[in-house]
């Protein structure tokens, strides 16, 4: 017998899940206040089910998807770690959620104080003199940072339009460069997976506005020549931008603002306790050096002569406003709560354990899978499915097979410089047992590739849906219940 699991199919006339207070009947003035054209003529065609059935419906939907609360999620570059519920609880407090965004600063003292303190903590973690919490995504932070570069050069009477980007950069880097109207110039990483200073010197000229570097880079490798590269760029009048999305590897260990970077974005929704990858709102704070502070987006939090915080709009050099109100404020609260619960030493342990977990897993996997850069990694590493591809099983097939074991696949086919790439980021919140389980599953799949490749190429076998036409689903999205 087919299991009835769609809530409309479970509907039985007259069944009730709950009874709402009959406010409208008791207070006719409420109804009268709503224009007649908005009154409903007939009851809405909602499914009629008990509360228990409604519960089963929603829980059933939630377990059809993979999520971090259900299983391991080693999606490289995304830092899919467990985000403590305590931080969600803090972000849902009435004092934050019920505050009207148009209320005056004088009634938002606590909120402004939280933003001020968080900016301070992020300065401390990153080594930058000033932080803006306004950008609402990593890419938005990049966009802001590049606008600041342009504003700074224009302020100095210079017209520069090129940005140097490594071949291992995240796709958002060149996209942001184009959005701002700059052109990107690519430099190649060497056989150790890092950018050699000579490669930068070769393309550096007086049209270069700056360079964007990710550290650790998208191979999970620490860029070892930052100082020399920054000197080359600075001597020729350029600025250094760090893509800080991988900050989970650096906290308490390396401060980008101290080694020659001028601007950096944080991904609060990767490193600082907002789940990433669910398509929810992000927060991409940026940090800058003291020299660039005047270009930050306005309004900027300042203290008046009585020490009270207010939003200053009097910023003649600012690149302007990038987002309304306070940015994505709930993410800001979560980041604040996360930092306050862990403290400085806790943040350092986060990074140490993220790096330890990645190196542990890398060693477990390197016999069965090609490891193109066999060096000490930071918080993530990249293996290649080349060996498996040679016998007809693609990285995509391996990823689909992983779903049968309740594991989310790693990031596939990125970075582009590694063929059949699988980028694995275990994060610090996973136990040794989980890492061992993942390694065992990966080894089993490698064995299946040899003995029973069909099993892998036809996977997944146990998910609610099999292989989907992902392009079709994106182009012709239809989430309505079939009539």
Ligand X SMILES: *Cc1c(COP(=O)(O)O)cnc(C)c1O
**Region of 242-250, 312-320, 433-441, 469-477 interacting with ligand X (CB under 6 A):** 242-250
DSSP 300: E
Neighbours of 30 (CB within 10 A): 11
**Residue bearing tokens 């059949």:** 420
Asked if residue 284 binds ligand X (CB under 6 A), the reply is yes
Q: How far is the CB of 11 from ligand X (least distance, A)?
A: 39
The DSSP letter of residue 15 is: -
If the CB atoms of residues 244 and 257 are measured against ligand X, the closer one turns out to be 244
The footprint of ligand X on this chain (CB under 6 A) covers a number of residues equal to 14
Q: Determine contact, residues 324/314, Cβ cutoff 8 Å.
A: no
Pick 172 or 427: Cβ nearer ligand X: 172
**Where are the alpha helices (H) located in 386-462, listed in sequence order?**
386-390, 395-403, 432-451, 453-457
CB of 207 to ligand X, least distance (A): 25
Residue 459 C-beta: closest distance to ligand X, Å: 27
Instruction: Give residue for tokens 């403590």.
Output: 84
- DSSP helix/strand/coil, 241: strand
Question: 239 - beta bridge partners?
Answer: 210
Stretch of residues binding ligand X (CB under 6 A), selected from 31-39, 61-69, 243-251, 393-401:
243-251
**Helix, strand, coil percent values for the chain (each to nearest 5):** 40, 10, 45
Rounded CA separation 339/376 (Å): 28
Gap between the Cα atoms of 438 and 188, Å rounded: 32
Closest CB to ligand X among residues 78, 403: 78
Quick note: the x/- pattern for ligand X over 119-148, rule CB under 6 A, is ------------------xxx---------
Residue 264 sits in the site that holds ligand X (CB under 6 A): no
Q: Which is nearer to ligand X, 288 or 393 (CB)?
A: 288
Tokens of 260: 């020659």
- Minimum CB separation from ligand X for residue 265, in Å? 8
3 state DSSP class of 19: coil
Residue from 126, 168, 172, 427 binding ligand X (CB under 6 A): 172
Binding of ligand X by 377 (CB under 6 A) = no
Select 246 or 289, whichever has its Cβ closest to ligand X.
246
Identify the sign of the CA torsion 361, 224, 273, 422.
negative
Residue nearest to ligand X (CB): 138
Residue (80 or 204) nearer to ligand X, CB: 80
Minimum distance from residue 378 beta carbon to ligand X (Å): 12
Helix (H, G, I), strand (E, B) or coil at 273: coil
Sole binder of ligand X in the list 49, 68, 77, 149 (CB under 6 A) = 77
Considering the complex, what minimum distance in angstroms separates the CB of residue 139 from ligand X?
3
Single out the residue of 87, 126, 214, 215 in contact with ligand X (rule: CB under 6 A): 214
Distance from C-alpha of 101 to C-alpha of 315, rounded to nearest angstrom: 21
Determine the length of the chain. 483
DSSP 370: B
Is residue 274 involved in binding ligand X (CB under 6 A)?
Answer: no
Residues near ligand X (CB under 6 A) = 77, 137-139, 170, 172, 214, 218, 243, 245-246, 267, 282, 284
């Amino acid at each position: 017998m087919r299991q009835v699991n769609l809530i409309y199919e479970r509907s039985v006339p007259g069944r009730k899940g709950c009874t709402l207070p009959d406010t409208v009947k008791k207070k006719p003035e409420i109804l009268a206040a709503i224009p007649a054209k908005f009154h409903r003529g007939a009851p809405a065609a909602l499914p009629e089910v008990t509360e228990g059935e409604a519960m089963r419906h929603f829980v059933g939907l939630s377990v059809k998807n993979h999520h971090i609360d259900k299983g391991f999620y080693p999606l490289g570059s995304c830092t899919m770690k467990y985000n403590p519920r305590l931080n969600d609880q803090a972000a849902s407090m009435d004092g934050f959620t019920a505050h009207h965004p148009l209320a005056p600063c004088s009634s938002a003292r606590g909120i402004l104080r939280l933003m001020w303190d968080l900016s301070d903590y992020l300065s401390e973690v990153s080594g930058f003199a000033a932080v803006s919490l306004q950008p609402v995504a990593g890419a938005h932070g990049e966009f802001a940072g590049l606008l600041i570069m342009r504003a700074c050069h224009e302020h100095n009477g210079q017209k520069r339009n090129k940005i140097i980007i490594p071949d291992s950069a995240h796709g958002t880097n060149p996209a942001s460069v184009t959005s701002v109207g700059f052109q990107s110039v690519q430099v190649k990483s060497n056989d150790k997976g890092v950018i050699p200073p000579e490669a930068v010197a070769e393309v550096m000229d007086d049209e270069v506005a700056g360079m964007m570097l990710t550290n650790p880079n998208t191979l999970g490798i620490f860029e070892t020549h930052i100082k020399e590269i920054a000197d080359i760029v600075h001597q020729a009048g350029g600025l250094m931008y760090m893509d800080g999305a991988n900050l989970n590897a650096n906290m308490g260990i390396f401060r980008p603002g101290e080694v020659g970077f001028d601007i950096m974005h944080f991904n609060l929704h990767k490193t600082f306790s907002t789940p990433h990858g669910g398509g929810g709102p992000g927060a991409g704070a940026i940090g800058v050096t003291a020299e660039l502070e005047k270009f930050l987006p306005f309004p900027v939090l300042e203290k008046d002569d009585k020490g009270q915080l207010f939003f200053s709009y009097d910023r003649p050099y600012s690149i302007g406003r990038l987002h309304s109100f306070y940015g994505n404020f709930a993410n800001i609260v979560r980041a604040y709560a996360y930092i306050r619960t862990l403290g400085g030493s806790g943040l350092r342990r986060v990074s140490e354990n993220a790096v330890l977990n990645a190196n542990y897993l890398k060693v477990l996997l390197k016999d069965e899978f090609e490891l193109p850069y066999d060096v000490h990694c930071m918080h993530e590493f990249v293996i290649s499915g080349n060996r498996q591809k040679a016998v007809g099983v693609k990285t995509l097939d391996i990823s689909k097979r992983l779903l049968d074991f309740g594991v989310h696949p790693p990031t596939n086919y990125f970075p582009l410089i590694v063929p059949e790439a699988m980028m694995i980021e275990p994060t610090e919140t996973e136990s040794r047992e989980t890492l061992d389980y993942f390694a065992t599953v990966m080894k089993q799949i490698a064995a299946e590739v040899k003995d029973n490749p069909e099993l892998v190429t036809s996977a997944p076998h146990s998910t609610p849906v099999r292989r989907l036409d992902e392009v079709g689903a994106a182009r012709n999205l239809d989430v309505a219940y079939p009539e």
